[in-house]
Structure 1
């Protein structure tokens, strides 16, 4: 421990990437914690509040569905936060490994640093949550603002959220260390070959077909297992479908990158294609939030159409609450997308410093470098948005039918989500230009 603590202080000191390499994951963990607390508090309200009795259990089902839809992008953002500095950490740890540091010392250093960063971010997230709580209490449900007391999270549940965020940070960092311990020279020289993702694509495709078939035969499953178990299984299937997006997304991006590199006509296309093929995981994670938001947009659009068609057929308060809940869920999903895109785009510049410097020294024009960076983001973004929406349509079609999917309100929701999501990504990409320009000036 006498050796580990001084090394930990050295590892957390800003290097060439600057203080942003430490600040960015803290910001991401803070946002993750704050939104997790908000979502968990809202779900708890719909599950235990006596005012939900008039909904005959519908409030609870919809609350759990919203929680599952948002839990996957929240956890994904938390895991991405843990990986933001993995390149910097792995470079330094690989050097220590080559100099003779033991695997035990590397594990201690990694877990200590990751836990500290996640803990600082989680505590900051609690402060953000406390500031947001009065605004959350103004949300209109049950015919009036719900109030702070109704959406305030239980202390025990809050501690569970904090502990979960810290565990995600430590576990993600420990997982990234496995490659350092095995091949430190490959990590240090960036010579490790990209992994084969064919198996993941095949398995993911088979699982998606199974999920769609399960949803299509939901009535049969409900008769065999009972309505309560059937609904619980359906909710779990929706959460699983979101996880499958990440499983098949990276292989598709890798294949698209190889195709782009083979057919490249310009330097920017060749650079972008090789980068997508070689660093598929980071390229997908930068835009994976858009896939999840597109999926949620399809579900939300169908939900709004159901409320619109139902009209006066159901209780007015219930219909209004469903509409409000759908809009709140979509709004939180957009906020998650904005945070994930902003943080990961800035982090990608810091992690690709060597590539930017190398291309600049080779004489690549600034316009070509910017176009290459734009392609590495926009190419997977199109696949992410289209794939997320397609999966959402396949999941929604057996439940609501084609008439509600193509209803004007559903189409408008999906189109607005695509437009807003693409605009957010472009804005985040443009915001990193000063960082790229600063790195290029360092080489002059």
Structure 2
């Protein structure tokens, strides 16, 4: 029976006529976009995991003193405002582990540089960069395995165990895990061991939920495109003797065949986009191609999972055909939906309101709970959407003062699920826009202080270090003062202000190299890794919004065209009865824009509610997010609807029934 179902499904796909083929192509296009964007989300999470592992080896993994084979320390310097990660290593035995991206453990006096750092050393004057390193020119070039991103600046310096750089304690007060005191090691750390990569991974998961849930909703809706045409055809098969099992098998086979082709096309689309995606700057740089490639197992899971999702969604939509094929053939209006959908939505909102106040204090558990509630928020909006659309339809029809609005209202009441599918993408994007509009932190203190440097030293050494700094900067215009005591109470900062731009600051950094062994002058708090994170939050929010709008507008265009094909005989008969084409087109537009105004606004408010406990500030960026959603959402829907107008004109030109 399986073979017979496949053969019949293939014949139905080929024999559906020009408009039947167009319907199948719409489904294929929807699945292609869904698969490509789903792979983008999966690849993004894989890329951040790869970055976390590439960063881990720089952070010393303390070994038991009896097993230690080397000493490792970490520091961060800057050139032209860009951080340079400096890993200091000293072997204590002949079994010292070889660092990633290197052919051998560095010998004392050797200095290995990343390709980007080696280029800068060659281009910049020696007194601005090269003189910071004893060897001047790099001994070797680090491989990609040692780097977080292609343009990263990394240096690995070899020392003797007794060198001052390998014995002095380093202060971590100036940055988020950008320094580490000399530590005995016998291996290099792996995984997400530092805070910054963990933050990025957590944000990537949240961004994935904001993108993937609408994608899954869109992918499920793709299985129900041209649903009326298919239901009529399958109902006819049931009435001539096909069993429920045969109908289900035929539908599943047809959906899976179309979805499999769309999934393969979506994979090829993602592969073609990878070179462009590597140029997206996050964490200070772009990406390696291998980072964005999700790997064979995730790829196989997506290629298998998308057709299964589409097949299941198609089968779930067959309940009316299987139970009452005569009702489908007679085009009876299905029973209305229950208000329990609204109760489910309200329950999720109330539950989130009860726990949201404690999420920030729960650490990783709180982040996981937030992700779960974001997914539930999306699903609850998608659940309540058709019910609200039906309600809107009754109000619209009851208050209509013209034929176009009356037709729009009656269509919303007759098939709220189809109307919801057209606006669901933009409505769900409203949730994303509302959530992200409050997640727009303002600029951090110190972000513009590129002419200021700070050294953290023990209180007893402040005067000595201050004199030494003034001595080294004798030829560089600068101001040196003693700053406040640090939070631990045992250290103070020495502040250096160097006017004259980046070149003067880099000259001062080079002159001060080694003034405190193992410690480099740091920028003020809020201008190092934290500043990158702040910029990346905005970049990530923009990416999520762009992807969400791409899903929404694609969904609106495809489902709008599908709705015209589903109702082609109704449109044709109305046109034949004398209804002007402009009235039909206006009714079609109102059928979309009225639910969009209500559901888009409601989902936006829901997004604001879910983001309120974590609001980082609502300034011009947040206002632009909301304004952009309103403008782009309505413009996108209107534009997508305009693409269906020629199709509407075509289907109304010939009212004769077609053997689908």
Say whether the fold is shared (TM-score over 0.5). yes
d(CA) in 1 for partners of 2:344, 2:290: 45
Alpha-carbon displacement from aligned partner over 1:239-290 (angstroms, at most 9, x marks no partner): 1111111122221111111011112111111111111011111111110111
Match of 2:286 in 1: 145
CA drift at 1:193: 2.8
Q: Give the number of the structure whose residues are more often helix, by fraction.
A: 1
CA drift at 1:333: 1.1
Shifted more, 84-93 versus 340-349: the winner is 84-93
Please point out which of 116, 119, 122 is paired with 2:263.
Answer: 122
- Summarize the Cα distance change of 1:309–1:129 in structure 2 as closer, same or farther, 3 Å threshold: same
d(CA) in 2 for partners of 1:263, 1:272: 11
Alignment check: 8 A CA contact 2:36 2:269 kept:
yes
Alpha-carbon displacement from aligned partner over 1:84-110 (angstroms, at most 9, x marks no partner): 133222111110100011112112111
Alpha-carbon displacement from aligned partner over 1:336-371 (angstroms, at most 9, x marks no partner): 112111111111111111221121122112221111
d(CA) in 2 for partners of 1:230, 1:392: 18
**Superposition map of 1:163-202 within 5 A:** 163-202=304-343
**Superposition map of 1:352-363 within 5 A:** 352-363=567-578
Matched, 1:299 2:301: no
d(CA) in 1 for partners of 2:558, 2:565: 11
CA drift at 1:411: 0.9
- Summarize the Cα distance change of 1:307–1:40 in structure 2 as closer, same or farther, 3 Å threshold: farther
Alpha-carbon displacement from aligned partner over 1:193-239 (angstroms, at most 9, x marks no partner): 3323312122222322222332234357x2xxxx3222211111111
d(CA) in 1 for partners of 2:290, 2:5: 44
Structure 1 ranges of 4+ moved more than 6 A: none
Matched, 1:28 2:30: yes
Match of 1:39 in 2: 41
Alpha-carbon displacement from aligned partner over 1:28-71 (angstroms, at most 9, x marks no partner): 11111111111110112213423474516211110000011111
Match of 1:369 in 2: 584
Shifted more, 150-159 versus 305-314: the winner is 305-314
Please point out which of 561, 565, 569 is paired with 1:346.
Answer: 561
Match of 1:415 in 2: 627
- Summarize the Cα distance change of 1:17–1:219 in structure 2 as closer, same or farther, 3 Å threshold: same
| 3-state DSSP of counterpart to 1:141 | coil
Matched, 1:328 2:328: no
d(CA) in 1 for partners of 2:580, 2:603: 35
- Summarize the Cα distance change of 1:310–1:175 in structure 2 as closer, same or farther, 3 Å threshold: farther
Alignment check: 8 A CA contact 1:11 1:89 kept:
no
CA drift at 1:424: 0.6
Please point out which of 362, 368, 381 is paired with 1:232.
Answer: 368
d(CA) in 2 for partners of 1:18, 1:212: 47
CA drift at 1:323: 2.1
Q: Give the number of the structure whose residues are more often strand, by fraction.
A: 2
d(CA) in 1 for partners of 2:261, 2:425: 24
Alpha-carbon displacement from aligned partner over 1:376-410 (angstroms, at most 9, x marks no partner): 00011111210111101111122217xx24x2210
CA drift at 1:182: 0.4
d(CA) in 1 for partners of 2:625, 2:220: 28
Matched, 1:433 2:433: no
Match of 1:270 in 2: 406
Match of 2:602 in 1: 387
Match of 1:9 in 2: 10
Higher radius of gyration, 1 or 2: 2
Alignment check: 8 A CA contact 1:208 1:244 kept:
no
- Summarize the Cα distance change of 1:76–1:371 in structure 2 as closer, same or farther, 3 Å threshold: same
> Gapped runs of 5+ residues in structure 1?
none
What's the TM-score, normalizing by structure 2? 0.63
Alignment check: 8 A CA contact 2:255 2:311 kept:
yes
CA drift at 1:15: 3.3
- Summarize the Cα distance change of 1:213–1:54 in structure 2 as closer, same or farther, 3 Å threshold: closer
- RMSD of aligned alpha carbons: 1.9
CA drift at 1:132: 0.5
Alignment check: 8 A CA contact 2:6 2:254 kept:
no
Match of 1:77 in 2: 218
d(CA) in 2 for partners of 1:21, 1:311: 57
Give the aligned length. Answer: 435
